[in-house]
Amino acid sequence: MHAAKLLIPTLAILAACSDPAAKSLAQPALPAPTERVVPSSVAAMKSSFAPVVRKAAPAVVNVGSKRIVRQRVDPFWEMFSGGAPRERVAQSLGSGAIVRADGVILTNNHNIEGAEEITVQLADKREFPAKVLLADPRSDLAVLKIDVGAEKLPTIAIDDRGDLEVGDLVLAIGNPFGVGQTVTNGIISGTARSNTGITDYGFFIQTDAAINPGNSGGPLVDMDGDLIGVNTAIFSRSGTSSGVGFAIPAATARQVIGAALGGEHVLVRPWLGAKTQTVTADIARSLGMAAPRGAIVSDVWPGGPAQRGGIEQGDIIVAIGGQPVSDAGAVTYQFGALRNGETVPVTLLRDGKERTVTVRAQPPAATPARDDKVIQGSNPLQGATVANLSPAVADQLGIDPFAGRGVVIVQVGQGAAARVSLKPGDIVRAVNGREIRAVGDLAAPLAAKVRVWQLTIERDGKVITAQFRA
């Protein structure tokens, strides 16, 4: 079983599930809230969730994966074993949901990442090999396909209306710790959680329904038995449920599924072309705002969607498509949930006055051209694949597209680059003191015959200069 990842005291990645039908991902006006009714008698308190489980559980599956992990042993003993690293098979067990009757399944990306073999076990215990249609690390979702011939499998419906309220009853279904299909109940504890540290792209539903390792990819369902979220993470100091779990919203799941069923292997989301910062209490006070809300625009990409739509540096984005924006993470999520080519009204505060502009959703700009190059020769970048930094490349790697011109590492293979711990997303700023602004700038400094290499790398906004002996 794949143990849950633990972050900041312990955020454990866990998630998954979704449906087929491809709806518009536009931001429609929210429907009138459904009337909620509290239990009115002892008999009502003793009601059962069994009908909900009977509807949803048949579409919930187990997702198992295997990958080969190569480990180096002590260098002394390697002399007697021929120097070959030891290999072991790492296994992971999570959950998923059938979203189309012909065997299309949604699960967490971390359940299958790096897997050489993926197996799906249905609720009736039958097992099938699975292939990956699309994996999206940014949302931590992946779409799988199993071959069931002409058979029609049970599916789960996806409810992405967006009318969830704190206090709504929910069920989490999955396979925690590999014990078998399990159901837990709770309520929605919060919505629109965007500052969780789980992924750089998220807008999570929070629930107190027990979620544990192995629940990854299982559905969070409402009282209609419909999927409203994909269980993906927990906040815990022990690695087990402490009543703070997070699920990926159904709208995100539908977007990933739609891309996979449309034949895409990579999900390209719209990009606003503006760098934003959450309006804090201090910022709100300095701007004379009654209360902090929205995200302030600190930079605008020339010729990008924001600039063409009339958004300027210093504007405060307070709503997108009529949906209030609470922070910078909400801007990324709400604009990214649109379809490329779609137009959306964006509400701004400028000079203390509210105004609305129209912005057309478009994919990140792919200029300058990538010019991918695998570095060879005797140098610290050997084995790395580099490309020119553009918004499209930055979006792919989850780094800041406003980092300026430069060359970014997009992949690290066998060679010196791996040995000196370079990784995708590192921006090469200088080699032996020579500034690097494009892939072509690497040729001359890497061809030099030197005893000591000096490499300047920018990683997560920090610039590091290190020396390596040839």
- Rounded Cα distance between 202 and 399, Å, is 15
Contact 227, 159 (CB under 8 A): yes
Same domain as 81, residue 193: yes
- Segment 267-295, tens digit of pLDDT: 888 999 999 999 999 999 999 999 999 99
Active site residue 163: no
What integer pLDDT is reported at residue 374 of this predicted model?
Answer: 96
Residue 10's identity, in one-letter code, is T
Catalytic one of 65, 92, 136, 140: 140
- What residues does 466 pair with on adjacent strands? 455
Residue 31 located in a structural domain: no
Same domain as 403, residue 341: no
Concatenated DSSP letters of 312-347:
-TT-EEEEETTEE--SHHHHHHHHHTSPTT-EEEEE
What integer pLDDT is reported at residue 243 of this predicted model?
Answer: 72
Regions of the chain short of the pLDDT cut 70: 1-34, 36, 39, 42, 44-46, 68-92, 194-202, 235-242, 470
Same domain as 346, residue 257: no
Residue 221 — φ and ψ, nearest 5°? -115, 155
Same domain as 452, residue 319: no
What integer pLDDT is reported at residue 83 of this predicted model?
Answer: 53
Q: Which of 216, 244, 267 is the last residue of a domain?
A: 267
Tell me how many domains the chain contains. Answer: 3
What integer pLDDT is reported at residue 115 of this predicted model?
Answer: 86
Same domain as 250, residue 109: yes
Active site residue 216: yes
Same domain as 136, residue 86: yes
- Segment 162-203, tens digit of pLDDT: 788 898 999 999 988 777 888 999 999 888 776 655 566 667
Same domain as 427, residue 390: yes
Which are the contacts of 50, defined by CB distance < 8 A and separation ≥ 6? none
Q: Sign of torsion, CA 291 293 297 303?
A: negative
Structure tokens at 88: 């072991």
Question: What are the helix (H) ranges across 92-181?
Answer: 109-112
DSSP assignment letter at 58: G
Same domain as 351, residue 416: no
What integer pLDDT is reported at residue 22 of this predicted model?
Answer: 38
Residue 213 located in a structural domain: yes
Q: Sign of torsion, CA 136 139 140 146?
A: negative
Q: Which of 360, 383, 408 is the last residue of a domain?
A: 360
Which are the contacts of 213, defined by CB distance < 8 A and separation ≥ 6? 1, 2, 3, 4, 12, 14, 176, 177, 239, 240
Which residue matches tokens 């704190």? Answer: 166
Residue 38 located in a structural domain: no
CATH code, 103: 2.40.10.120
Residue 348 located in a structural domain: yes
CATH code, 445: 2.30.42.10
Active site residue 110: yes
- Rounded Cα distance between 141 and 136, Å, is 5
- Rounded Cα distance between 186 and 164, Å, is 14
Residue 446 located in a structural domain: yes
- Segment 53-66, tens digit of pLDDT: 999 999 999 999 88
Taking the CA atoms of residue 212, residue 217, residue 223 and residue 224 in that order, the dihedral angle to the nearest 10 degrees is -160
- Segment 292-348, tens digit of pLDDT: 999 999 999 999 999 999 999 999 999 999 989 888 888 988 898 898 999 999 999
Catalytic one of 65, 95, 189, 216: 216
What integer pLDDT is reported at residue 146 of this predicted model?
Answer: 97
pTM of the complete model: 0.76
Catalytic one of 110, 189, 395, 426: 110
Three-class secondary structure of residue 59 per DSSP: helix
Same domain as 165, residue 97: yes
Residue 44 located in a structural domain: no
Residue 300 located in a structural domain: yes
Concatenated DSSP letters of 366-408:
--S----EE--SSSTTTTEEEEE--HHHHHHHT--GGG-S-EE
Three-class secondary structure of residue 164 per DSSP: coil
The parent domain of residue 434 ranges over 373-469
Q: Which of 360, 382, 400 is the last residue of a domain?
A: 360
Same domain as 142, residue 3: yes
Helix and strand counts by DSSP (H, E) for the chain: 11, 26
Same domain as 146, residue 224: yes
DSSP assignment letter at 223: T
Count Cβ neighbours within 10 Å for each residue of 289-320 and write b for 16 or more, e otherwise.
Answer: beebbbbbbeebbeebbbbebebeeebbbbbb
What integer pLDDT is reported at residue 316 of this predicted model?
Answer: 96
Same domain as 230, residue 279: no
- Give which of 197, 188, 184, 177 is closest to 11, Cα–Cα: 197
Residue 415 located in a structural domain: yes
